[in-house]
Amino acid sequence: MMFMSLLSVILFSLTIAIFKNVVEGRDVKFELAVELVLIVIYFIFYQIVFNRESKL
């Protein structure tokens, strides 16, 4: 379940990043790397917050 949610978030974010880069015409590799780092950080915080709430 957790893996599938992470995979869906990554795929959605990559799709948004690719469409954004097509329109803006920036450096695609750097932009995708930044997007992936932000996704991983977001997912870690998401897991920490919701795992803490479920234990209360």
Q: Quick one: pLDDT at residue 33?
A: 77
Average pLDDT over residues 12-29: 72
pTM of the model: 0.50
Average pLDDT over residues 17-46: 75
Question: Please, which pLDDT band fits residue 7 given cuts at 50, 70 and 90?
Answer: confident
Q: How far apart are CA 32 and CA 44, in angstroms?
A: 18
| pLDDT over threshold 60, residue 56 | no
Average pLDDT over residues 29-52: 77
